[in-house]
């Protein structure tokens, strides 16, 4: 382990646990000797839409685009909802051929001028994780750099666990973004003019889908059986002439884009 460049940020990160400086000091430690161009920090839930905590040298406009539409294509978010796997997660391990042609890499990252990223995924209480992402604009992360992060992961995880303990497991409340580089979470809202063919119950269900809830969570929130949720989904897809959840999101985002651009 090359420790020469990280002793000072390690000491600061230890001292910052339980304070508002924790995330920033953790970023400094993680990126101390890993070259990167920018940093983004996101919280992922298995049942809710992502929260953007903060960023460094990233575009506020792209943050808003991510929260408004691109999060549904985020492979890190999809992986967390599917597997809840913590640790060091390079983009290249998630990026199959379909993802490389998809909205996240070909769209969001291209517009953000990012060519590669690696996520440090840390347990954040309940079904949440904290993702700290190092991003590069012109070169991919080397295997040796990924290995260095994996070697140090237990330190990163222990520091964040200490911070959660010191805060009484209230990270979400104490980390509400307030300064530059921060953006609040946005929840999608279905305009009244969109999908008039849907019943009120079906609109409630679609609202939960757009907010990131899986089938089991929707069933619990609406007080119905999982099978009933699936039946509702099938009828909704038939009414909207679609076959997948992805098409549902695309219809929603296209309608909102048309409304925002206006005549």
pLDDT digit string (tens) for 184-230? Answer: 344 567 888 899 999 999 999 998 888 777 888 899 889 999 999 99
pLDDT at 172: 43
**DSSP 8-state secondary structure symbol assigned to residue 106:** I
**How close are the terminal C-alpha atoms of the chain, in Å?**
59
Verdict on whether the full-model pTM lies above 0.85: no
d(CA 173, CA 176): 6
Angle between helices 143-167 and 22-30 (to 10 degrees): 160
d(CA 231, CA 238): 11
Compute CA distances 246 → 54, 102, 106, 239, 253, whole Å: 27, 12, 16, 15, 11
CB 213 within 8 A of CB 248: no
d(CA 39, CA 133): 6
pLDDT at 261: 54
**Can you list the domains of the chain with their CATH numbers?**
7-174 (3.30.450.80), 200-261 (1.10.10.10)
pLDDT at 96: 66
d(CA 243, CA 183): 33
pLDDT digits (tens), the chain, 263 positions: 455 578 899 999 999 998 889 999 999 999 999 999 999 999 999 888 899 999 999 999 999 989 888 888 899 998 898 899 999 999 998 866 555 557 788 889 989 999 999 999 999 988 899 999 999 999 999 999 999 999 999 999 999 999 988 877 444 433 444 343 444 344 567 888 899 999 999 999 998 888 777 888 899 889 999 999 999 999 999 999 999 887 887 788 777 766 655 55
């Amino acid at each position: 382990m090359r420790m020469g460049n990280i002793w000072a940020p390690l000491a600061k990160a230890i001292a910052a646990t339980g304070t508002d400086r924790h995330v920033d000091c953790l970023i400094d430690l993680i990126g101390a000797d890993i070259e990167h161009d920018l940093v983004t920090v996101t919280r992922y839930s298995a049942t809710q839409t992502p929260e953007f905590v903060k960023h460094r040298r990233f575009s506020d406009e792209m943050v808003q685009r991510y929260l408004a539409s691109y999060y549904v294509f985020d492979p890190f978010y999809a992986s967390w909802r599917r597997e809840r796997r913590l640790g060091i997660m390079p983009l290249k391990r998630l990026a199959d051929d379909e993802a490389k042609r998809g909205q996240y890499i070909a769209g969001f990252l291209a517009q953000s001028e990012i060519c590669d990223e690696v996520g440090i995924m840390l347990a954040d209480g309940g079904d949440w994780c904290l993702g700290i992402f190092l991003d590069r604009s012109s070169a991919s992360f080397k295997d040796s750099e990924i290995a260095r992060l994996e070697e140090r992961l237990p330190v990163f995880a222990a520091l964040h666990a200490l911070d959660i303990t010191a805060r009484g497991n209230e990270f979400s409340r104490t980390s509400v973004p307030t300064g530059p580089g921060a953006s609040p979470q946005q929840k999608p809202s279905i305009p009244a003019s969109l999908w008039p063919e849907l019943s009120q119950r079906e609109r409630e269900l679609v609202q939960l889908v757009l907010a990131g809830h899986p089938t089991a969570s929707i069933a619990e929130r609406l007080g119905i059986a999982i099978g009933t949720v699936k039946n509702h989904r099938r009828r909704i897809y038939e009414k909207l002439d679609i076959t997948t959840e992805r098409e549902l999101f695309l219809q929603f985002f296209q309608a909102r884009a048309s409304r925002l651009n206006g005549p």
